[in-house]
Structure 1
Amino acid sequence: MYGPSDSASKDLWVDIDHLDKEKVKIHGILSNTHRQAARVNLSFDFPFYGHILHEVTVATGGFIYTGDVLHRMLTATQYIAPLMANFDPSVSRNSTVRYFDNGTALVVQWDHVHLQDNYTLGSFTFQATLHSDGRIVFAYKEIPISVTQISSVNHPVKVGLSDAFVVVHKTQQIPNIRRRTIYEYHRVELQKAKISNTSAVEMMPLPTCLNFQSCGPCISAQIAFNCSWCNKLQRCSSGFDRHRQDWVDSNCPDETKEKVCDGIPDTTRPPPFTTTLLPPMTTGSKLFTTLSSAPSTSQWQTSMPTEDDTKIALHLKDTGASPADSATEKKGGSLHTGLIVGILFIILIMVGAMLVSVYMYHHPTSAASLFFIERRPSRWPAMKFRRGSGHPAYAEVEPAGQEKEGFIVSEQC
């Protein structure tokens, strides 16, 4: 992050006014509407969390949506947000949404945009630049007030990145209907207080498991992700990326337990449930689903399962231990001895359950946490999106024909 006194702040700002006017496009609809989004095709391959994107969706609210599934709640996850807020370009003739693609980078600029619920605060001018090497730059030219003072009552205020994977489930209650669940597995939240006039943020991408194309380099990779190789898919992954559905459907989690290449065990791998953490740049997590909810997953953040999810994990553990209690008591030989053994066994189970809960509390993306996530009963309650839930509805400028609404959210504490 660079402040106003850093020369890099000025260097990272792209002066669109001095570029080729024929290549700088002013989006007429986005520049005159509120809560609208439009797709923009990229002339280059843009890697985002290791995934190659060929198009993005630019929104009037100061962010870029990167997901494949378009829905009205674009502010929830899968975004690149230099300054997400309740901007309304239609309230001023000087407000525009412009973008420029030179073949190696896309620059999107929100120019002189105002907040709909507080027009008198002044105009904001900022931009996001996506580079072909995965680098992302946020640059700010005009920020009239502190970002921390922007109201989030009618629209979330975010500065950072987010990505998620989509999992499709078949529902037993309604034939031929599938439930689509969106898990936000990673988020980067930048310090809003440091966003000011002539400031900038430059984010460099870390290597991911998806970069490795063969088994050997994959399982021996010394990066900040726990990489595994799936022979069936011929793919390297941590299990947490946009290909999660294929990874699970192909039984890759079971296949990768042995950590082998061509029958040779890999002795350099850490033991199960060992994770390597990234710097603590991320906080919070949510998940979004069409019919039901489950705990969110993020290996690099301080979030944890919700209270209901913790109770479910303990409930499943206790249920599975009941037969063992009965068997232990029968083997005791005497009522007194059996009672003592039974009490000790129950105490051990409770201590074990507490340790498991604490582990899942701090490692929501571990195999143990996912076990309970994927087996969560559908009868557990979920909350539907409401207008006051903090996720306003966005409409696509050019609808793709099929409406994608009706998402359900379970908030993370």
Structure 2
Amino acid sequence: MDTNRASQEQDQEPEEPEGFPGLLSAVEADNSSQIEEDTDHNYYISKTYGPSDPMSKDLWVNIDQMNKEKVKIHGILSNTHRQAARVNLSFDFPFYGHFLREITVATGGFIYTGDVVHRMLTATQYIAPLMANFDPSVSRNSTVIYFDNGTALVVQWDHVHLQDNYNLGSFTFQATLHNTGRIVFAYKEIPIEVSQISSVNHPVKVGLSDAFVVVHKIQQIPNVKRRTIYEYHRVELTKTKITNSTAVEMMPLPTCLQFTSCSTCISSQINFNCSWCHRLNRCSSGFDRHRQDWVDNSCRDETKDKICDITDTTYLYPFTTTIVAKTTSRSKEATAGRDMLSTSLPPTSVPTEGKVENKAGTRPQSDSAVGRMQDTPPLHTGLILGILLVMLVMVAGVLVTVYVYHYPTSAASIFLIERRPSRWPAMKFRRGSGHPAYAEVEPVGQEKEGFIESEQFCTFFFLL
């Protein structure tokens, strides 16, 4: 998977670069200040509340006081490491203007919002109150809890420890997703400064991210396409602000996707350069999860005019009349030429040319047919060579298998055993890569208590 930062200036004029900043971070401020922050991230406005601010306590959701029937402790996530589970929402959750009904909760202190679950969940498309190398399996007191009351979803990582530094203590924090698009990060127990958490074995992030997927054709391999994820926006919150009894509130700002008509779209006065696409009946800035449809339908060329002409009948009816006129003239020519061969017909007319050649017998075969006959032997030769090559590879594989079976202590056998598929680096988390592999666990309806063992989940972005 290729993860890239999308250029925010591809489809907009140079004089409006502020519409799509590649990255906006929270403004650094004194950690001892208890004044409420109000930071504009273009898609969201974040407000940080300190330990002495009453709002930090009000934003914390006490799950112990909620309806016990709706509070769910995920048994698998609470006993495993680097696992993720899908959770269905009972409401539409707006995220960067897109409505989600399903999310993926990970043990690493974040929520994945993408459609396709892959091994690099930490790269982009996340809601991260505190993404780190948490391992709930190292302590019996560690649990992953979530609660859905119909208007909000609360996910709480309760008394979780860092796998690579258990002695630092337990972390307790939560993320709340409201049906209005409002997102709240609340922190109850943070034993050390977030900036001091090691990111060697797992990235450490606090904030939001979204991306779009683009399908590329591979010219060297026919009928094969590659999906590439481009991160078009990220919200990075100040890590030094995350301490005990703090909270961060993020309010969504208007996006182009909320406008449902052309007039309201092009006349909108928001932070984005909105354009209307008649083919899709959609308002967009060109940078959202529907980027592929926007490009495939040539909406980038259509939005240059900035005109809301829905249907112009003056262009449709003349076009239809012309077609009828041409059809009528052709029918007259066909009627007039029933008894004799018309020489006024185009020489490239396939049906007429076929009749003349059959009667005269001067061209029994076309040039293309002769060319195909001449190219037939090379095609057969290539097919035979391909079959022979496949057979040789199969024979070589059988011989190698027999050799390894009879001589398991040889250098070649040990070399292959060490590199069997279950030990391939691509299927495992590579130390220091910054993108740990997460495995998707069973659906919530099939969850069970205890530990599970599974290979690391990996999706390669190649579609045959």
User: Shared fold (TM-score greater than 0.5)?
Assistant: yes
Name the residue aligned to 2:119. Answer: 72
What do the CA deviations read for 1:96-121 (whole angstroms, capped 9, x no partner)?
Answer: 00000000000000000000000000
Deviation track 1:248-278 (CA, whole Å, cap 9, x = no partner) reads 00000000011111189xxxxxxxxxxxxxx
Q: Is 1:209–2:256 an aligned residue pair?
A: yes
Whether 2:437 is the aligned partner of 1:393: answer: yes
Task: Give RMSD over aligned pairs.
Answer: 1.8
Between 1 and 2, higher relative CO (CA 8 Å, sep ≥ 6) is seen in 2
The structure that has the greater radius of gyration is 2
| Counterparts of 1:390 and 1:40, CA distance in 2 | 25
The match for 2:459 is: 405
Q: Please name the residue that 1:341 is paired with.
A: none
State the partner residue of 1:247. Answer: 294
Separation in 2, partners of 1:43, 1:229: 31
Query: Structure 1 CA distance, aligned partners of 2:136 and 2:234?
Result: 27
**How far, CA to CA, are the matches of 2:253 and 2:54 in structure 1?**
25
Task: Structure 2: give runs of 5+ residues left out of the alignment.
Answer: 1-47, 312-425, 444-456
Change in Cα spacing, 1:224 to 1:104, as seen in structure 2 (3 Å) is same
| Alpha-carbon distance, 1:404 to partner | 4.7
Instruction: Evaluate the alpha carbon distance shift between residue 404 and residue 251 of structure 1 in structure 2; reply closer, same or farther with a 3 A threshold.
Output: farther
Structure-1 residue corresponding to 2:237: 190
Structure-1 residue corresponding to 2:321: none
What TM-score do you get using the length of structure 2 for normalisation? Answer: 0.60
- Counterpart of 1:405 in structure 2: which amino acid? T
Looking at structure 2, the residues matched to 192 and 57 of structure 1 have their Cα atoms a distance apart, in angstroms, of 23
Q: What TM-score, normalized to structure 1?
A: 0.68
Secondary structure in 1 aligned to 2:433?
coil
1:308-342 Cα deviation digits (max 9, x unpaired): xxxxxxxxxxxxxxxxxxxxxxxxxxxxxxxxxxx
What's 1:349 paired with?
Answer: none
SS of the residue aligned with 1:108?
A: strand
CA distance in 2, matches of 1:181, 1:387: 23
Which residue identity does 2:441 align to in structure 1?
V
- Give the AA of the match of 1:90: S
C-alpha distance in 1 between matches for 2:430 and 2:107: 21
Query: In structure 1, the residue corresponding to 2:158 is in which secondary structure?
Result: strand
> In 1, distance between residues paired with 2:75 and 2:213?
32
Map 1:1-80 onto structure 2 (within 5 A).
Answer: 1-80=48-127
CA distance in 1, matches of 2:92, 2:461: 30
List runs of 5+ in structure 1 lacking aligned partners. 265-383, 409-413
Distance 1:35 1:43, change over 3 A: same
Do the aligned partners of 2:278 and 2:310 also contact (CA within 8 Å) in 1?
A: no
Residue 107 of structure 1, aligned match among 148, 154, 171: 154
Classify the secondary structure of the residue corresponding to 1:25.
Answer: strand
Whether the 8 Å contact between 2:226 and 2:461 is mirrored in structure 1 is no
CA distance in 2: counterparts of 1:111 and 1:203, whole angstroms: 22
Shift of 1:170: 1.6
The alpha carbon displacement at 1:387 in A equals 4.0
Name the residue aligned to 1:177: 224
Secondary structure in 2 matching 1:258: coil
Out of 130-139 and 253-262, give the one that drifted further: 253-262
Deviations 1:192-228 (A, max 9, x none): 0000000000000000000000000000100011100
Aligned residues: 287
- How far off its partner does 1:407 sit? 6.2
Q: Does 1:122 align with 2:175?
A: no
CA distance in 2, matches of 1:145, 1:33: 23
After TM superposition, give the deviation of residue 388 of structure 1 in Å: 2.4
- Give yes or no for the alignment of 1:235 onto 2:282: yes
Residue 236 of structure 1: SS of its match in structure 2?
A: strand
CA distances 1:44-82 after superposition (whole Å, capped 9, x unpaired): 000000000000000000000000011011000000000
Q: How far apart, CA to CA, are the structure 1 residues paired with 2:460 and 2:154? A: 32
Report the alpha carbon displacement of residue 177 of structure 1 after superposing the two structures with TM.
1.2
3-state SS of the aligned residue for 2:86? strand
The SS at the match of 2:56 is helix
Q: 4+ residue stretches of structure 1 with deviation over 6 A? A: none
Structure with greater helix percent:
2
Q: Secondary structure at the match of 1:261?
A: coil
SS in 2 for 1:17: helix
Q: What is the one-letter code of the residue matched to 2:459? A: E
Q: Aligned-pair distance for 1:156?
A: 0.2
AA aligned to 2:282 is: R
The separation in 1 between residues aligned to 2:209 and 2:228, in whole angstroms, is 16
Please report how far the alpha carbon of residue 398 of structure 1 lies from its aligned counterpart in structure 2 after TM superposition.
Answer: 2.7
Whole-angstrom CA distance in 1 between matches of 2:71 and 2:54: 25
